[in-house]
Amino acid sequence: MKNYKSIIWGSILILVGLVLALNEFGVININIFFKGWWTLFIIIPSFINLFVDKDKTGSLIGVLIGVLLLLSIRNIIDLNILWKLIIPIILVCIGFSLISKNMFDKNVSKKIKELNSKNNNDGYCSTFSSQKINIDEEFMGTNLDAIFGGIELDLRNSNIKKDVVINTTAIFGGIDIFVPDNVKVKIKSTSIFGGVSDKKNNKSSDKSPVIYVNATCLFGGVDIK
């Protein structure tokens, strides 16, 4: 899954380049700058993220809004109807997302709740700023809040003996978490126009400790590397 995003974007760019070249030589006549073409900048990235992001709520909302905008610009649906539908669509997508998480992530949610009851760490917060945190001792879990800012947490030299939880909040911000190769990562995410990307190399075993990432993203993202 990690390479799909580059492959899809590469294929799209190649296709657009070929169409432009063939248009110039008169082989074909395809107008890629059709009425409402700019909505593709909403539809295509959101569609790609449906396949690569673990939390698909924001991506699904993006696809639906992009398609509705395109249909409105093409006079297929009325603009007034579009504005009336946007908020209900967002609410329905978020509702389905919350229900599905509760149904399918019960064990993860239960474990996160258990670990949080033992987590006494205040954590780190970046608001309109950025910070880098390197931990080279025993890691017991933490809280990371990036609000219009960024946080980089490096755990590659840390000692993780048992399961831990990292609670993250990214609001118009980004969080990068570098984890050791010998741990597993499990994610619970509530995201709107954002998400969690797991780029970790999987060298863990069934007996490896687990890092639980409990993420909330609003126009922000968490990258696990």
Residues 112 and 220 in one domain: yes
Residues 128 and 158 in one domain: yes
Element (H, E) at 20: helix 4-24
Neighbours of 85 (CB within 10 A): 16
Cα–Cα distance for residue pair 146/155, rounded to 1 Å? 18
**Residue 35 near residue 74, CB atoms below 8 Å:** yes
Residues 116 and 46 in one domain: no
- For residue 54, give its domain range: 33-103
Which of 103, 125, 142 is the last residue in one of the domains?
103
Within-domain flag for 12: no
Within-domain flag for 151: yes
69 vs 43, 60, 82, 158, CA distance in Å? 10, 14, 7, 48
Residues 39 and 86 in one domain: yes
pTM reported for the whole predicted model: 0.62
Strand partners, 164: 211
Q: Would you give per-residue pLDDT tens digits along the chain (225 residues)?
A: 445 667 777 787 888 888 888 888 888 888 777 888 888 888 888 887 777 666 666 777 788 888 888 888 888 888 787 777 777 877 777 777 666 665 556 677 778 888 888 776 678 999 999 999 999 898 988 999 999 999 999 999 998 989 999 999 998 999 999 999 889 998 888 777 777 887 776 666 677 899 999 888 888 889 898
